[in-house]
Amino acid sequence: MTEESTIFLPKVYKGGNEKFVGKPMISWSQIETWNSKSGFNTGLKGNQEYILKYFTGATFPDMGWGLFGTEAEGYICEREYSDKFDENEKKILESITPLGIFQQEILVDFGDFVVLGFIDDAKPDFRKIRDYKTKSESSKKDLHEDKKHQLELYALWVQQEFGFIPEAEYCIIERLGGAECMKGAGREALKIGTKVWYEPYSITPERLEKTEALVRSTVEEISSFYRTYTKVFGEPKKLN
What CATH number is associated with residue 31? 3.90.320.10
**pLDDT of 238 above 60:** no
**pLDDT of 11 above 60:** yes
Q: What is the pLDDT of residue 81?
A: 98
β-strands 114-122, 24-27: how paired? parallel
What Å distances lie between residue 197 and 91, 95, 119, CA to CA?
A: 15, 12, 18
- pLDDT digit string (tens) for 195-215? 999 999 999 999 999 999 999
Q: What is the pLDDT of residue 20?
A: 96
Of residues 72, 240, 35, 6, the one with CA closest to residue 150: 35
Q: What is the pLDDT of residue 228?
A: 95
Residue type, position 58, single letter: A
**pLDDT of 8 above 90:** yes
Q: Are 45 and 150 in contact (CB under 8 A)?
A: no
- pLDDT digit string (tens) for 135-190? 999 999 999 999 999 999 999 999 999 999 999 999 999 999 999 998 999 999 99
Residue 201 placed within a domain = yes
- pLDDT digit string (tens) for 34-87? 999 988 888 899 999 999 999 999 998 888 999 999 999 999 999 999 999 999
**For the chain, what is the domain count?**
1
Beta bridge mates, 119: 104
Q: Are 135 and 69 in contact (CB under 8 A)?
A: no
Q: Are 223 and 216 in contact (CB under 8 A)?
A: no
**pLDDT of 125 above 70:** yes
Q: Considering the entire predicted model, what is its pTM? A: 0.93
**pLDDT of 98 above 80:** yes
Q: What is the pLDDT of residue 236?
A: 67
Residue 239 placed within a domain = no
Residue 240 placed within a domain = no
Q: Which domain holds residue 124?
A: 3-233
Q: What is the pLDDT of residue 237?
A: 60
